[in-house]
Structures are given as C-alpha cells and as structure tokens.
Amino acid sequence: MTQRRSHIDSCLSITRLLRLQAFMTRRTLEKRDIPAALLAGFRWLRNPVSQGGAKQVPRIQMLARGPEILADVERMRAHPTGKKLLAERPDLGVFLSNSAALKKMPEASLGRTFYDAMDNPVGVPGYLLAGLIYKDGFFDSFDMSDDARFYLERIRWLHDLFHVVSGYATDLAGEGMLIYFQQAYLYGLNFNALARSPFGIGPRYFLRPDCGKARWQEYLRDANSRGLNAYNVCPAVFAPWEELLPQPLSDVRRQLGIVPFVEDSSRWLDNSKLGKRASTGFGAQSGEAKQAQLARKVVEAGVDYRDLYRFSDEKARSLHLLAANGATDAQIREAAGRST
C-alpha cells in the first residue's frame, strides 16, 4: 500500500511538473495576460515600497505590454545607438554595481554622483531590486528573443539612474513623481494613459502631499512632460549609459534633453500618516534592508545576483545564514555551487 501511494505521489508530482512546463512554455510577449497583469498591479498597489511590490513591476509590464515591448525592440534595431547596443549587449549591471570604479570617476560626473547617491549601507542595492525579475522563475518562463531579453534586463537597471539625472529624490513624493517621469521616458506614455494604469493610480490618488491635491497633480503632469521631452530626444533604453557615466552630469542631462527637478520634496508627506507608513513599506522595509545586506555579502562573495534570485527560497536563506555567521567567501561560493 505504501509503495502504491509512493508511486501515485510520484505520478502526481510528474503531472504537476508537466503542467507547469506546459504553462511556462505558453508565455510569450506577443500575447497579453490582462487578468494576471491586473493581479500584479493590485499587489504592487498594496505595498509599492517593498521588495514584494517591486517584484510586480516587471510582471505588470511583461504581462500587459508585451506587444509594445516587442515594438520597442524593433525600434531599437532601427535606431543607431539602439542597434549598436543590441550588437554589443553590454551588461549595464556590471557598470552600476562596480562601486570601486564609480567612486574613482570625476567629481560631478554621472557615475560619481550615482555612487554618492546610492552608497547607502542600510539600503537595498540596485542590483538586488533589478534581480527581482528572476524571482520565482517568472522571467525565465517567457519564450522571447535574445534582443527582447536584453531590452528587458537593461530596463531593470535604469530606475536608480533616473533618480540622478531627473533630480527626483528617493523619498515617497519623489518616487511618485519619478513614476510619471519614468513611464514617459521609457515608453512615451502620456499623462492620461499613465493615470489609468496601476503605476499612475498609486501616486495620483493615494498620496496626499502637503502642497495640496491640485498642486500635486501639476507636479505629476510636469514630471510626465519632462519624461516625454527626454523620450523625444532619445528613449531611455537606447541611451549609451555606459559611455555617459564618466561624463559631467550637467552635460549628460543636456545630451538627453532632461531638465532636472530642483525642489526639495523630502518633507511633503510630514502630515500624512498614510504617507509615513507607506514610505517604510508598512513596516516591511527594515526587515528587508537587513536581508538585503546579507544578500549583498553573498553577491560580494562571488555569487551572481541573478543566480541568487533563481535559487529556491530555502537555498537563498541558507546562503544568507552563512553570511550572517561570518562564513568566508569561498565557503559561500561552495555552498552556492561555485568553486571558483
């Protein structure tokens, strides 16, 4: 009886695996999955300032905007800089995660300013947020061309760069305005189209800065306009960011058609209880920051951040535990399955 049950369990496991594989192979960018995109949008709206929320961002885009993404890839193939990027396929993540190289760049350069802005020992490194696209096998479940894969992976690295070139701060009000800038700069989305999307609904209706509702709408429209102006000069994903990093930030902004935002938004939500709670991910941010620092140690030990997110939760936790207990880099790499 036990042997028969074991055989049945094995058959059920195989059946579930085959169903999962069949489901995974059906995912393409040509076909939209609006119900799944709406579910991801709802999950993002629940807590956008958290890794759980950040994980939903590429899912919304890939599930809802697949045909537009493919159209962008075609435009990239026809654009001089875009065509060059697709041919060479530089890994922007390698440049932006190389803190030593960024720190040595000239004062007031894009790269050095980026380093100074992102050098936060208690924050979540940008490459870990970018790596969320690989979580749960979602990204790998899509059947797509190498060009589309490069396009999507490159986009995941641009958010922190946008903070620097746009002037929008990393406080919650700044993040809200950056969303309206970013969606225009990446995809050419105008205010009305964006305001109806999950990304636009969050900042527009749920944030209540001290400047007042009408003025806040003006700030969002202005952010969207700035992003569209830059998009018309050169869509963000076509820009040669690797070559721009050593250049003066002011020159980079001129080249890209970006007029920076110069107001201080850090105190705009001081009188908003919801804003204060949301800015900390409703309490999730402190715990996530601790885990992020352990993940950072694992990556700095020589484990690729992409591999780390492709590991099972159990294996990732075991690597975090090794880092917390002071394991050597070699021990961490060995546990991750890398001996070099």
Domain-ending residue, one of 259, 282, 305: 282
Q: Name the least confident of 87-91, 168-172, 292-296, 315-319.
A: 292-296
> CA 330, CA 340: separation in Å to the nearest integer?
8
pLDDT the model gives residue 263: 95
In this structure, what token pair is assigned to residue 9? Answer: 């369990």
> CA 306, CA 123: separation in Å to the nearest integer?
19
Is residue 169 predicted with pLDDT exceeding 80? Answer: yes
* Residue 175, helix vs strand vs coil: helix
Residues with Cβ within 8 Å of 7's Cβ and at least 6 positions away in sequence, in order, are: none
208 plus 298 within the same structural domain: no
pLDDT the model gives residue 285: 58
> CA 153, CA 27: separation in Å to the nearest integer?
17
Is residue 257 predicted with pLDDT exceeding 60? Answer: yes
* Residue 181, helix vs strand vs coil: helix
pLDDT the model gives residue 202: 84
CB 310 within 8 A of CB 336: no
> CA 46, CA 206: separation in Å to the nearest integer?
11
203 plus 55 within the same structural domain: yes
Structural domain includes residue 254: yes
Is residue 66 predicted with pLDDT exceeding 90? Answer: yes
320 plus 214 within the same structural domain: no
112 plus 213 within the same structural domain: yes
CB 164 within 8 A of CB 249: yes
pLDDT (tens digit per residue) in 174-202 = 999 999 999 999 999 999 999 988 888 88
Residue 333 is which amino acid? R
pLDDT the model gives residue 52: 82
DSSP code string of 219-242: HHHHHHHHHHHHHHH--GGGS-HH
Q: Name the least confident of 73-77, 152-156, 294-298.
A: 294-298
- 323's enclosing H/E stretch is helix 313-324
269 plus 287 within the same structural domain: no
In this structure, what token pair is assigned to residue 110? Answer: 């894009």
Is residue 295 predicted with pLDDT exceeding 60? Answer: yes
Whole domain around residue 75: which residue ranges?
23-282
90 plus 191 within the same structural domain: yes
Confidence category of residue 234, pLDDT binned at 50, 70, 90: very high
Q: What are phi and psi of 109, to 5 degrees?
A: -75, 165
Is residue 11 predicted with pLDDT exceeding 50? Answer: no
> CA 194, CA 56: separation in Å to the nearest integer?
17
60 plus 41 within the same structural domain: yes
> CA 253, CA 30: separation in Å to the nearest integer?
34
Structural domain includes residue 5: no
Nearest in space to 191 (alpha carbons), one of 335, 199, 241, 66: 199
- Tell me what percent of the residues of the chain surpass a pLDDT of 90: 58
170 plus 223 within the same structural domain: yes
Structural domain includes residue 4: no
pLDDT the model gives residue 198: 83
Domain-ending residue, one of 248, 265, 282: 282
Report, as an integer, the average pLDDT of 123-141: 83
Nearest in space to 255 (alpha carbons), one of 276, 241, 266: 241
50-85 burial, b for 16+ CB within 10 Å, e for fewer? bbbbbbbbbbbbbbbbbeebbebbeebeebeebeeb
Is residue 276 predicted with pLDDT exceeding 70? Answer: no
In this structure, what token pair is assigned to residue 1? Answer: 């009886």
- Domain total of the chain: 2
Is residue 6 predicted with pLDDT exceeding 90? Answer: no
Confidence category of residue 5, pLDDT binned at 50, 70, 90: very low
pLDDT the model gives residue 287: 66
Is residue 1 predicted with pLDDT exceeding 50? Answer: no
Report, as an integer, the average pLDDT of 43-66: 87
* Residue 193, helix vs strand vs coil: helix
Confidence category of residue 296, pLDDT binned at 50, 70, 90: confident
In this structure, what token pair is assigned to residue 132? Answer: 């969320």
**How confident is the prediction for the chain on average, in pLDDT?**
86
Report, as an integer, the average pLDDT of 121-138: 79
pLDDT the model gives residue 244: 97
pLDDT the model gives residue 108: 96
Q: How far is CA 199 from CA 44, 58, 325, in A?
A: 8, 12, 39
pLDDT (tens digit per residue) in 310-323 = 999 899 999 999 99
pLDDT the model gives residue 118: 82
63 plus 179 within the same structural domain: yes
Structural domain includes residue 105: yes
Domain-ending residue, one of 282, 301, 330: 282
185 plus 263 within the same structural domain: yes
- pTM of the predicted protein model: 0.82
Structural domain includes residue 45: yes
Is residue 15 predicted with pLDDT exceeding 80? Answer: no
Report, as an integer, the average pLDDT of 113-127: 77
Q: Name the least confident of 26-40, 109-123, 184-198.
A: 109-123
Structural domain includes residue 28: yes
Is residue 8 predicted with pLDDT exceeding 80? Answer: no
173 plus 46 within the same structural domain: yes
Count how many Cα atoms sit within 13 Å of the Cα of residue 222 in the half-sphere of its side chain. 16
Structural domain includes residue 238: yes
In this structure, what token pair is assigned to residue 203? Answer: 């900042």
198 plus 139 within the same structural domain: yes
Structural domain includes residue 265: yes
Strand partners, 24: none
